[in-house]
Amino acid sequence: MEKSSGLIFEKSSRGRKAFSLPEAAMPETEIESLIPGKYLRKNLRFPEISELDIVRHFTHLASKNFNVDGNFYPLGSCTMKYNPKVNEDIASMEKFRDIHPMFPEKYVQGILSLLKEMEEMLCRITAMDAFCLYPAAGAHGEFLGMLLIRAYHERKGKIRKKIIVPDSSHGTNPSSVHMAGYEVVSIASDKNGEVDLEALESALDEEVAAFMMTNPNTLGLFESKILEIAEKVHSRGALLYYDGANLNPLLGICRPGDMGFDVVHLNLHKTFSTPHGGGGPGSGPVGVKKHLVPFLPVPVIEEKDGGLILNRQKPQSVGSIKSFFGNVGVIIKAYSYIKALGDEGLKRTGKLSVLNANYLKQKLKGSYHLPFDKTCMHEFVLSAKKQLDSGIHAVDIAKGLIDRGIHPPTVYFPMIVEEAIMIEPTETESKNTLDEFVNTMKEIAGLAAKTPEILKKAPIKMSVKRLDEVQAARVLDVCWNFEKPEDEGQEDG
């Protein structure tokens, strides 16, 4: 019987085909007459394989994937919640699927109405005055936020060069700041895991354009002094930016705009349950207070003469930041999710995400070090410091979870916690699943104490075993050699 694993090239046999094409009506043309020979590969080799074997090969590969439908995914700071399948059905409806973004406005009033209502719902959820749905991901939204902040200060005649970020910030924050041409100023957290007010005060000067943060922060802790932070930032003429990756626990309970934030980006693919991972698709809408509305990207959906139009005549706009209207399919799924839950459903989502995280924290803090033993929001951070005495690191615990059918939490982030293990269960997981996770984590802690050499070998049940991750990052070699001689490794068949 043919092996089900391995490379598709290893299944290749000369002469096999997956399809037959009719004889072309047009005469054949030599490829060299169309493309200069210097750009053509020599001895190009593709696998020769039947349709059935192709189907089996890729079906088998798909079965190896970790996915939120098949496995618990407690990935801290990423909100990998279950995605209701009805949202997929709605986004795939014929009248959504078959419209084209270049249709005249009068023929797409339905989708424009949906997008306009989505902007209004997000404004209500976050206490912002306007929203732009165009950004294709959270980091894209961050970059747009930086452009809006720059435009705001330039309009006031101020050239500011710095953005402050906490030392626990998401990695995309400083990257977006750099891309927008700003200098990153990092400030330390205090002993409670929150923003150090004295450090913030000393960093604020006339060159600071904004303070970029999230609440709850990356440690899963609510910034209890957020109103004081907002007052300090605004008193220096700077703006307050909200990274919305951690909005999930606040749904229906409190809003960034009420905390004093001027700009917010959301991750629809996290908070509002649309699939994400593997490069997308995502959606990172940006909301702003009224003093930033003139700078939003164009076109803007507006009402005129009883209908909706796309207004591109916004002289202070930062311009266009995405072709057409963003990832509309993702927006439709998030729209469906919000409409299905309603206000009370969203509030229940926030409460359950906090309840689940605190339940896990209390159950696990005896087996692992808990650097901040206080009520958390949607996620919390453990540490493998206890296991270091046995030579076990956070990465070893992560590999042990893979063997037991659980996707590892985020490890080594935030970097301010030694041997960090960041856990976020989301609101969609049952108590049974949470208890299974607790038992598994305790089992791994026991292995670490008694037989650490076993844990060091994990994973042992997967088709790919322990990798040299440092070498993999430094020596990027992922290409099959397409230029082997034609007869090498081929079988007649």
How much is the pTM?
0.88
Residues 484 and 391 in one domain: no
CATH of the domain at 111: 3.40.640.10
Provide the residue count of the chain: 493
The CATH number of whichever domain residue 369 belongs to comes to 3.90.1150.10
Q: 63-119 pLDDT, tens per residue? A: 888 888 889 999 998 899 999 999 999 999 999 999 998 999 999 999 999 999 999
Whether residue 17 sits in one domain with residue 42: yes
Q: Are residues 158 and 281 in the same domain?
A: yes
Name which residue leads in pLDDT, 351 or 44.
351
Q: Which of 278, 305, 340 is the last residue of a domain?
A: 340
Of 122, 159, 139, give the one whose Cα is nearest residue 321: 139
**Residue that finishes a domain, picked among 340, 363, 394:** 340
Asked if residue 121 and residue 93 are part of one domain, the reply reads yes
Same domain, 180 and 308: yes
Whole-number average pLDDT of the chain = 92
My answer on whether 211 and 330 are in the same domain is yes
Domain identity same for 336 and 353: no
Does 487 have pLDDT greater than 60? no
Beta strands at 380-383 and 208-213: parallel, antiparallel or unpaired:
unpaired
pLDDT in tens, 209-227: 999 999 999 999 999 999 9
Q: Please indicate, yes or no, if residue 79 is contained in any of the structural domains.
A: no
302 and 451 inside one domain: no
Total domain count for the chain?
A: 3
Structural domain contains residue 80: no
* Domain that includes residue 401, residue range: 345-468
| Same domain flag for 477 and 448 | no
Task: Locate all alpha helices (DSSP H) within 156-207, ordered by sequence.
Answer: 172-179, 197-203
Indicate if 476 and 432 belong to the same structural domain. no
Which long-range contacts (C-beta less than 8 Å, at least 24 apart) are formed by 16-25? 16/48, 16/49, 16/50, 16/53, 16/493, 17/48, 17/50, 18/49, 18/50, 18/51, 18/54, 19/51
Instruction: Look at residue 279 in the predicted model and tell me its pLDDT.
Output: 56
Residues 288, 147, single domain; the answer is yes
Say whether both 377 and 476 belong to one domain: no
pLDDT band at 230 (very low <50, low <70, confident <90, very high): very high
Query: Among the three residues 340, 361, 391, which one is the final residue of a domain in this structure?
Result: 340
